[in-house]
Amino acid sequence: RKEVEQDPGPFNVPEGATVAFNCTYSNSASQSFFWYRQDCRKEPKLLMSVYSSGNEDGRFTAQLNRASQYISLLIRDSKLSDSATYLCVVNSMDSNYQLIWGAGTKLIIKP
């Protein structure tokens, strides 16, 4: 079983719709969780950290469910510019500074 698993998609979604992704992680002791965004042929960039209480940044909401070991990302009122691959990331138990990466979920927003 992979340590961090994501549905690879692609998710094809009309502009203005709400879309949600889930990601599961295998190590119940994981402490830090993140969503990174990667545009086509570009490097990953941090989208948002995921806090235990859930957090929101504009149209983006991240949630953590420790009991079920999953993280979610919700995008409301999706824009064409949201088209990207979204990477779920969890800290490694081997080192505080290492991260374990999901393979990513591809999102395509259609006009």
Which stretches of the chain bind another protein, using CB under 8 A? Answer: 4, 8, 32, 42-46, 49, 87, 95, 97-99, 101-104
What is the distance, to the nearest Å, from the Cα of residue 82 to the centroid of all Cα atoms in its chain? 13
Quote the least distance from Cβ 72 to another protein, whole Å: 18
| Cβ atoms 33, 71 nearer than 8 A | yes
Q: Are strands 70-75 and 44-50 parallel, antiparallel or unpaired?
A: unpaired
**Residue 17 or 93 having the CB closest to another protein:** 93
Count of CA atoms in the C-beta half-sphere (13 A) of 18: 6
Quote the least distance from Cβ 77 to another protein, whole Å: 26
**Residue 22 or 76 having the CB closest to another protein:** 22
